[in-house]
Structures are given as C-alpha cells and as structure tokens.
Structure 1
C-alpha cells in the first residue's frame, strides 16, 4: 500500500479529520478529535503509526519482525510503527481498522453518539 492509498482509506472513515499538529511532515488522522494514525511524510520506506491493543501489538511485532516495530516517538505499549510498503494492503487495512475501532471504543458516550449521527 502506498501513502495515497493509506490516506484515502483513513479519510473514508466516519468522523475523520487530518491535520499537521506537530510539524509540516507528520500527517495526523483523528476520529472525533482523537488521534488514531500518524504518517511520517519524509521517511522512506513509508512509516505509519497506528494504535494497537498491547497483546496484539506484541504478536504483530514478533510475526512481522522489522516491518512492524514499536511506535516511533509514541507509547511503545500502545502504538506500532508499520512499514506499509513491506506488508500486504489487506493487513494494513486491518490494522487501520483496529486502530480506528480502539479509539472509537474509548470515546465518551456523547462523542460516540455524535459519530453515529454523522452522515
């Protein structure tokens, strides 16, 4: 998966915004104001950070040694850095979905209701 496909998949989800809160090279995707994905635009190979359940994160790092690593500049327990050009697009989409769903599950009841009511 390339960066354009990654972006398109992320922004197609409900309640998404994209911004550059840290610098002009780090694109952040948020659902209802909560971060679920970051992309380092100037790094090659393309690296993205996605939130992940801690146990699943360990399984992924073991199974995809070197292609999925502890989150760069993030909580190593809750975030993975994924070299998206080295893993399948299907797995990348699955990990985006996992990250998005984790963040949505942690939203307040009010924000979940707002998200559900979005067109």
Structure 2
C-alpha cells in the first residue's frame, strides 16, 4: 500500500467512520505514532531526506588494506587472514572506522581483480 493511500485511509477512518486511534492501529496495521502524526498534520506525503551522507573512513588506510589483501592472495586458504582479522590488525594500527567499510572495500577490490583476469 502506498503512503498516500495509507494517509487517506487513516484520515477517512478517523474523521468519517469515527474510529478510535487504537482501532485504526489494529485494523490498518499502522503504528500509533504514525496515526497521530497523520492526524495532527495536513501533509499528504511523508518523506525523509538524509542531510549528510557519512563517508567510510577507509581513505587513508587503502594502502594498508591493499597490502593485507595482496599478501593473502599468495597464501594457501588455511593461512589467509579473514576480513575480521584484517580489520583487527588495522585497529591495532590505529584505524577507527567500521568493519563493514573494510568488507565493502575488499569486496570491491576483489570484484575489480576478478574482472581484470
């Protein structure tokens, strides 16, 4: 169901049919806070825009990540470092970013290396 349809159904149920907020929540499967927000405002559509997109902190650490990944390529699978282990090694060196940023970067590097060969 679209947001605009939900807003119309909530307002119709409250103003025309005389339903309580609790009944609207149960019948239309919408949270109580959403119902209150719809009834208090004259908006016909609610949207959220992120003001600032934070960037991953891998920028200064790309050389180190590349070094770990390149060292991994020549090793047998039992001796390779996992991405978690690479992340822990980077943390020991002072990296303060997230594991997810490392994982995404390594996946992108791996994808570009596979397409080259």
Q: Which is richer in helix? A: 2
Which structure has the larger Rg over C-alpha atoms? Answer: 2
Q: Which is richer in strand? A: 1
TM-score range, shorter chain: under 0.3
Give the structure-2-normalised TM-score.
0.24
Give the structure-1-normalised TM-score.
0.24
